[in-house]
Amino acid sequence: MKNFEKEELKKISYNCRKATFLIEKKQIARITLQEEAELKIHVAGCSICATFMKQSILLNKMIHNLFNRNHAELKLDTKFKKKLQQQIEDHVNDD
Amino acid sequence: MQQEHDKTTIRGNEKLDPHLWVSKYADYLYSYAILRIEDVDLARDLVQETFLAALERSAKFEGRSSEKTWLTSILKNKIIDVYRQKSSAFAKDTDIIKAEQEQNDFFDHENGHWNHEHRPKEFGIEQADALENKEFQQILRACMKKLPKLWLAVFTMKHMDDESTAYICSELRVSSSNFWVIIHRAKVNLRSCLQKNWLQN
C-alpha cells in the first residue's frame, strides 16, 4: 500500500500536463484539497512548472488589461465614420 | 395595467442621442470588437450593425443603463453570435485539430513531463515591465489571433470579460469538461507562442 502511494505520488509529481491544467483551473475556480496538495508538491519540485505558473498569472493580468489600456489607441478611419454618421442621420430622419 | 405603471416608475434618466453615437462611441466599440475577434473588417461591420440595431430598438431603451453600456451589450451579443457561427460545437474545426496536434509534442506521452524543446523558459522581463511593454502586448495579440476561434472565444470571455463559466458554456455550447480542456490548451498554446516570438526578438 505504501509503495502504491509512493508510486502515485511520483506519477503526480512528474506530470506537468496535469499540473498545468490545475494551474489554469485554480485561477478561475476552486480545486479540491487533494488537487491543491498535488499541485503544491509538483510545483515545489518542478521549476519549469513554477515558471509556467508565474507566466500564466502574468498573461491573465495582461489580457485583462489589454482592453482597458488599449482601447484609446484603436480608431476607425474617418471615411467609415462619416458613412456611419450618414446612415444614422438617414435613419433618424426617416422616423 | 399595474405592470405598465411599474415600468414607467423604474424608467431611468438616461437618454439616447444617436447623432452623437459615432463621435462618442465608434472607436470604443470598434476596439471592443477587435480585441475579441481579431478581424478588422468584421469588427467594422459589427460596429455598423450595432448602431443600426440600436436605432431599430431605440424605443425599447429604458434609460436604466448608460447609452454606452446599452450599445456595448448589443455589440456583445453580436460578438457571441459570431463566435457561435465560427465554431460549431459538434464538428471539430480544422483549426482546433491543428492546434491540438501542435500541442501533442509539448508533453511526453508516457509521463506527462515537458518535452525538452517546449519547456517554459523565463521571458527575461519583470512582471511590471511586461504589463507596460507595447511590443510584448503586440506579440500577445498576434498569438491570440492564431488560436482556434472557439478557444479564443472561451478564453477572452473568461479572461477579458470575467464572464461566468456557466454563461460561457451555455452561450458557446461547450460542456463544462470541454471548457476546462480549452482553457488549459489555449493558455499552454499562447504561452508557447509568446515565448517563441518574444525570445526571438
Q: In this predicted model, what pLDDT tens digit does every residue of B59-105 receive, in sequence order?
A: 888 888 899 999 999 999 999 998 887 666 545 667 788 888 888 88
B1 is a domain residue: no
User: Same structural domain for residues B104 and B166?
Assistant: yes
pLDDT of residue A33: 95
User: Same structural domain for residues B193 and B101?
Assistant: yes
pLDDT of residue A44: 94
Q: What's the structural domain count of chain B? A: 2
pLDDT of residue B8: 45
CATH no. for residue B42?
1.10.1740
Smallest Cα distance from B3 to chain A, Å? 28
User: Same structural domain for residues B67 and B109?
Assistant: no
pLDDT above 90 coverage of chain B, percent = 54
The tens-digit pLDDT sequence of chain A (95 residues) is 455 565 655 555 559 999 999 999 999 999 999 999 999 999 999 999 999 999 999 999 999 888 766 555 688 999 999 999 999 999 988 76
The Cα-based distances of A48 to A26, B79, B117, B130, B177 in angstroms read 18, 36, 12, 20, 26
Of B26, B119, B159, the CB nearest to A60: B159
Distance CA(B48)–CA(B185), nearest Å, equals 34
pLDDT above 90 coverage of chain A, percent = 65
**CB B112 to CB A15 under 8 A?**
yes
**φ, ψ of residue B134 in degrees (nearest 5):** -65, -40
Query: Which among A90, A95, A66, A94 is positioned nearest to B22, based on CA atoms?
Result: A90
Q: Which domain holds residue B16?
A: 7-86
Three cell numbers at B158? 473568461
Tell me whether B191 touches chain A (CB under 8 Å). Answer: yes
Tell me whether B26 touches chain A (CB under 8 Å). Answer: yes
Residues recorded for chain B: 201
Distance CA(B139)–CA(A13), nearest Å, equals 32
Last residue of a domain, one of B41, B65, B86: B86
Query: Which among A52, A5, A47 is positioned nearest to B195, based on CA atoms?
Result: A52
| Owner of C-alpha cell 466599440 | B29
User: Same structural domain for residues B16 and B78?
Assistant: yes
User: Same structural domain for residues B113 and B70?
Assistant: no
User: Same structural domain for residues B100 and B170?
Assistant: yes
User: Same structural domain for residues B46 and B138?
Assistant: no
**φ, ψ of residue A71 in degrees (nearest 5):** -65, -25
pLDDT of residue A69: 66
| Owner of C-alpha cell 491573465 | A60
| Interface contacts (A, B; CB < 8 Å) | 133
CATH no. for residue B99?
1.10.10.10
CB B188 within 8 A of CB B112: no
